[in-house]
Amino acid sequence: MKEHKIYLLISLLFLSSLSVFAKDVIPQQFVDSLNVMYPDAENVQWSSKHGYKIASFYQMTEGNQDAIMVWFNSDNATWVMTETGVQTTLQLPLPVTEAFSKNEMSGLNIQYIRIITFPVKPEIIVIELLAFNGEEYQMFYNPDGKLIQTLNGYIGEGEIYPDLFN
């Protein structure tokens, strides 16, 4: 009887661990939508957040490995936003690179650079910085180099998602 309880306990632990590590089944319409946009995407990881399905993968661009996150409406697999994490300001539109280099914050440590693209709205470039005193900043630019806003501290702990831009 004692062995039976131990076997049952081990079986329950095993089954619960499977459910923890089980991946969401992504409906084919999401995979199809991604394949239209990024037919060469490989090793795609899917997740759900803020009511969206997100496809994450890496893609080589001009010798750099960029992190891509493609956000889809959870209801109908419609593309909502793409976040591309780039490695250097050299991958940004020239007006943004020039405007950033002239800003007094350009000497701070760059943590992340993200290019945010939308189906209809113009793209937005987000440069996330860390000051020497630990202060964090986000600078939002239009592709023409116009600084839209600078935020002290990361909004949503630095997380970028579609609803921030509505």
Residue 2 has pLDDT above 80, yes or no: no
Query: What pLDDT, in 10s, does the model give residues 94-143?
Result: 999 999 999 999 999 999 999 999 999 999 999 999 888 888 899 999 99
The pTM of the full predicted model, rounded to 2 decimals, is 0.79
Question: Quick one: what percent of the chain has pLDDT higher than 70?
Answer: 83
pLDDT confidence tier of residue 155, bands split at 50, 70 and 90: low
Q: Which of 35, 157, 144, 48 is nearest to 96 (CA)?
A: 144
What domains can you pick out in the chain, each with its CATH number?
A: 26-165 (3.10.450.360)
pLDDT at site 77: 95
Percent of the chain exceeding pLDDT 90 equals: 63
Sheet holding 109-117, edge to edge: 45-49, 52-61, 64-73, 79-86, 109-117, 124-130, 136-141, 147-152
Q: Which of 139, 155, 151 is nearest to 96 (CA)?
A: 139
